[in-house]
Amino acid sequence: MCSYAIRTKYLIPSNKDSAPSHNNSYNGGTTALMEIIATKSECKSRMGANKTILQCPKWNAKRFRVSKKALAIPMTFMILFASLSAVISITYLFAVSKVDVSSQLLKVSSAKQNMDTLEDSLKYVVWQPGSSKTLEFGDCGGKLLTEPSANLLTINVTDGTFYEAIFNSSVGGVVYELPYSETSDTGLYLKGTSKVVENKSGAVMTQLYIDSGDEHPEIVLRYRPMVSSSTAGTENGKPVNNVRIYVVNLNSSQNIQLMGKIPIKISCVNTTTSVSSYNVSYQPASLTTQVTLCNRQAQVSVPISSNENGAIINVELVVCNAKIERWER
């Protein structure tokens, strides 16, 4: 009997005549996961008349190609590749969208800062005729527009008996169009409030806010009137009341519609004052200032000092004419 070597992971033909039994390890029709072969030298010495020698079974590539396992392996790798590609694509798109959102937020923040700087420069020169200031408006991806003919302002005064219109003109404004279709800050006031007119001590005339705009969100800068009052003794036995109304007018500005970095010059052209006096023989309790700004109406009332002789009411309108233009260096 020949000795045999055992190697694993090979298939043995099920034909009984092709290999001798070995400890009944397999029978006909049974496939074992090992290869049993005879050592060549031993088989030559013992084969005798029987010239038969065990041979290694050959690898059947054709059988493997058509087997279920042969189909499963490439399909598995294909599914894994497709899944990995999808995960990578989704992750990339998510990262790009996050970067875009962050970039947009940064530009909006820069635009707010630029408009705030512009308003600070205006505040520096208004009420000081002949003063000026220059600055560079940074590039935030949008468009800067000065609108000299925008924001129609009308001012009327009345005590219930007399009624007079003392101002009717556009006061202009500045708009920065953001390059995005929407923003969660619409309606937010960066400076001032939504009131059309103010008469409280410490209130500001500035209105710097974010509006929806016609096509793009906008950062809007404009000025509302301010009303104050005081008494100044008596005249001809009547108390004297001084009511002062302040207006900042930008309608002499240059018409600008530019993108990118923009050099700007702001100057105070002049300050004008006009006074209307009302000598009344009755006792008014208050004077009401009615204001319409950009189709929005509001009114404020200030107390009037009077006696049995009546009162004198001086309404003083103070207008600061400021100008915004492109600075030619």
pLDDT in tens, the chain (329 residues): 444 444 444 444 444 444 444 444 444 444 444 444 444 444 444 444 444 444 445 545 555 455 555 555 666 767 776 777 777 777 766 555 555 555 566 677 888 999 999 999 999 999 999 999 999 998 888 899 999 999 999 999 999 999 999 999 999 999 999 877 666 678 899 999 999 999 987 789 999 999 987 788 899 999 999 999 999 999 999 999 999 999 999 999 999 999 989 999 999 999 999 999 999 999 999 999 999 999 999 999 999 999 999 999 999 999 999 999 998 87
307 within domain boundaries: yes
Do 167 and 45 have their domain in common?
no
Please enumerate in sequence order all residues whose Cβ is within 8 A of that of 127, keeping only pairs 6 or more positions apart, or say none: 268, 271, 320
**End-to-end alpha carbon distance in the chain:** 110
Question: Do 259 and 176 meet the contact criterion of CB atoms below 8 Å apart?
Answer: no
Helix (H, G, I), strand (E, B) or coil at 256: coil
Show the tokens assigned to 21: 């039994």
Do 39 and 129 have their domain in common?
no
172 within domain boundaries: yes
Distance in angstroms (rounded) separating the CA atoms of residues 142 and 217: 10
Radius of gyration of the chain measured on its C-alpha atoms: 46
Distance in angstroms (rounded) separating the CA atoms of residues 143 and 259: 5
Distance in angstroms (rounded) separating the CA atoms of residues 291 and 293: 6
Do 236 and 124 have their domain in common?
yes
196 within domain boundaries: yes
The dihedral formed by the CA atoms of 102, 106, 108 and 112, expressed in degrees to the nearest 10: 150
Long-range contacts of 15-22 (CB under 8 A, 24+ apart): 18/54, 19/54
Instruction: Please name the helix (run of DSSP H) or strand (run of DSSP E) that holds residue 304, with its range, or none.
Output: none
264 within domain boundaries: yes
Question: Do 205 and 224 meet the contact criterion of CB atoms below 8 Å apart?
Answer: yes
Distance in angstroms (rounded) separating the CA atoms of residues 56 and 54: 7
Do 114 and 256 have their domain in common?
yes
Provide the domain limits for residue 9. Answer: 4-58
Question: Do 214 and 143 meet the contact criterion of CB atoms below 8 Å apart?
Answer: no
94 within domain boundaries: no
Question: Do 88 and 163 meet the contact criterion of CB atoms below 8 Å apart?
Answer: no
DSSP bridge pairs for 219: 176, 210
Do 178 and 264 have their domain in common?
yes
pTM for this predicted structure: 0.69
Distance in angstroms (rounded) separating the CA atoms of residues 211 and 250: 20
Distance in angstroms (rounded) separating the CA atoms of residues 166 and 224: 15
Distance in angstroms (rounded) separating the CA atoms of residues 117 and 197: 23
Do 150 and 18 have their domain in common?
no
Do 153 and 216 have their domain in common?
yes
Number of domains the chain contains: 2
Question: Looking at this protein, which amino acid is placed at residue 34?
Answer: M
Please enumerate in sequence order all residues whose Cβ is within 8 A of that of 187, keeping only pairs 6 or more positions apart, or say none: 209, 210, 211
Do 45 and 117 have their domain in common?
no
78 within domain boundaries: no
Do 45 and 163 have their domain in common?
no
Question: Looking at this protein, which amino acid is placed at residue 82?
Answer: A
Do 160 and 271 have their domain in common?
yes
